[in-house]
Structure 1
Amino acid sequence: MAAPLAYALIATDLDGTLLRGDDTVSDRSRRALAAAGEGGARHLVVTGRPAPRVRSLLGDLGYAGLAVCGQGAQLYDAGAHRMVWSVTLDRELAEVALGKIEAEVGQVFAAVDQDGVDGLTLIEPGYEMPHPTLPAVRVPGRDVLWEVPISKVLVRHPALTDDELAEVARGAVDSLATVTMSGPGTVELQPCGVTKATGLALAAERMGLTAADTVAFGDMPNDIPMFRWAAHGVAMANAHSELKAVADELTRSNEEDGVAVFLEGLLAAAQGATDARL
């Protein structure tokens, strides 16, 4: 077995972090994660994507453990293909929240992620998916978005930047929902108090691990709660400035295998410490 790493839990975001722009995980990253596993570390995916939108990615990685999905609203068991835990966003509150945002900035376009392991992503007229590889079902009007339980709402504005829309939404929504920004064109409303950190803490507890055992990797403001919870937060070179401001360390970009670069450093340090004791 390889030398044990400084961290027993490796929590990685997907988009902009572990994944390259073409939705693949490089061979170098795969090798680094495998080597960390041989050193006793556990890999935990912590993503804004809902469980149905990560299933094929996790399968390609041979990932069979728990995954935190939907910005922390879902704890998904990839091996058993079942939801261990989930919390939904009250649909009446979500509709009110959208109305409050529109009262401030005019018309916005919305989408929702349905709850459950087979939930769909529904998009209303005018909403354009920021990530073209993710499947979505276009519906005739906003009323259809609220027909079944949802985990979150995605919001876009025709003129405002993501940062501008997120700032307005936080002020308008107040305690109706938690507002996050998880990627280009992706401002989201999720259940109040639910973040990646709450999902990560729940998953870690089930694994018998703690914040002190955890190193977290991310690239967007929705990763800030996760960084504040974990013992060590590592931002990608391509990360949003808000995340870089709270990160303990920076690594290379997702296109340059930044997660692997950091893990290789941990592995080398662990092996050096082992050799020094021999």
Structure 2
Amino acid sequence: MTPAIEPAESSGIRHPSDAPEGAGTAPEYDRQTYGETFADSGLRLIATDLDGTLLRDDRTISQRTVAALAAAEEAGVEVFFVTGRPLRWMGVVAQHLAGHGLAILANGAAVYDLRAGTLVEAFPLPDDEALAFAHALRAAVPGTAYAVERAFGFRREAAYPTLEPDIAAFADIDSLVADGRDQPLLKLLARHPSLDPDAFLATAVELAGGRVEITRSAEAALLEISGAGVSKATTLAKCCAERGVTPAQVVAFGDMPNDLAMLTWAGTSYAVANAHPRVLAATTLHTLSNDEDGVAVVIERLLADRARAASQA
């Protein structure tokens, strides 16, 4: 997919604090103070969600955002993409993001090297845990349909709706999980046709009792189920520790409940203006929406402040 190309005379750098009067508290646009100043040299890594955060609603990447990411890395700030997307859905963005290195996929269940095109590490959901929870959830919430994301493939029950009708369908969850056991199971997906998404999530989390990790990132009643303790935050923390990067040296961006753990872990976190109400409430720092290049807005100001501080040193 080609990126959205913006005119060269774009309005230029805008900061969250430059939002129009009356932007008010939903969301409030705050100036980030990173340490003593926004230009604190301790910043080493940017971690950003993709859908609804970095990508626009039409799933394109603006020229402005591509330029901001490149400028960050030129300034010595590493960029990680931390997404719920599986590997098979990275093609739509790889053309513009591949130069930036690592992507944490499937809500933390896999680490993929975009430059090399290789799977670095996986943190799978055990097949028996997936089956046990699927049967328990279906008994508690009749009408639930399932699909599974493995490292290199997707399978679904016949009742699970999909935009990819050519993908094989299985009669039941047992045969679904049994297929492809040679690959790690990254996510169990549970969908209900009529429940409120947040109510479905709350029911599943209570039922799980910590045996699996459950979150959601879609507007529909679609749950994303990973192995216990696997989240965007845990895998990001592991990757950062391997590089000697502390939470205080990370700025993170997100929009949905599956980003909350990461946003809480990072030393500095932004919700985009279009974020889920829970995410807006959990973050004190907000930027413009994904369609307004909110992530790029913050990166641009961050780099401008760093450059100004360096010139005055």
TM-score (norm 1): 0.90
Shift of 1:274: 2.6
SS at match of 2:217: strand
| Alpha-carbon spacing, 1:247–1:36, altered in 2? closer, same or farther (3 Å) | same
CA RMSD of aligned residues (A): 2.0
* Percent of aligned pairs with the same amino acid: 39
Shift of 1:260: 0.6
Q: Is 1:220 aligned to 2:256, yes or no?
A: yes
Match of 2:187 in 1: 152
Q: Is 1:72 aligned to 2:93, yes or no?
A: no
The number of residues matched between the two structures is 269
Cα-to-partner distance string for 1:10-69 (whole Å, 9 max, x where unaligned):
001011011112221110101111111221111100011122321452233233512111
8 Å CA contact 1:16–1:238 kept in 2: the answer is: yes
Match of 2:159 in 1: 126
After superposition, residues 1-278 of structure 1 pair within 5 angstroms as 7-115=43-151, 119-129=152-162, 132=163, 137-142=167-172, 143-146=174-177, 147=179, 148=181, 149-185=184-220, 186-277=222-313
SS at match of 1:228: helix
Runs of 4+ displaced beyond 6 Å: none
Give the letter for the 1:127 counterpart. Answer: Y
SS at match of 2:170: coil
Cα-to-partner distance string for 1:108-155 (whole Å, 9 max, x where unaligned):
01111012xxx11212112223xx4x7972413223321224111111
Distance 2:48 2:246 in 1: 16
Distance 1:59 1:135 in 2: 25
| Alpha-carbon spacing, 1:90–1:201, altered in 2? closer, same or farther (3 Å) | same
Distance 1:137 1:60 in 2: 27
Shift of 1:4: 8.1
Shift of 1:83: 1.8
Give the letter for the 1:139 counterpart. Answer: A
8 Å CA contact 1:121–1:135 kept in 2: the answer is: no
8 Å CA contact 1:36–1:263 kept in 2: the answer is: yes
Shift of 1:169: 0.4
Q: Name structure 2 gaps, 5 residues minimum.
A: 1-38
8 Å CA contact 1:28–1:257 kept in 2: the answer is: yes
SS at match of 1:137: coil
TM-score (norm 2): 0.80
8 Å CA contact 1:4–1:41 kept in 2: the answer is: no
Q: Name structure 1 gaps, 5 residues minimum.
A: none
| Alpha-carbon spacing, 1:135–1:64, altered in 2? closer, same or farther (3 Å) | farther
Shift of 1:268: 2.2
Distance 1:242 1:54 in 2: 27
Give the letter for the 1:120 counterpart. Answer: G
Asked which structure has the greater CA Rg, the reply is 2
| Alpha-carbon spacing, 1:57–1:87, altered in 2? closer, same or farther (3 Å) | same
8 Å CA contact 1:94–1:176 kept in 2: the answer is: no
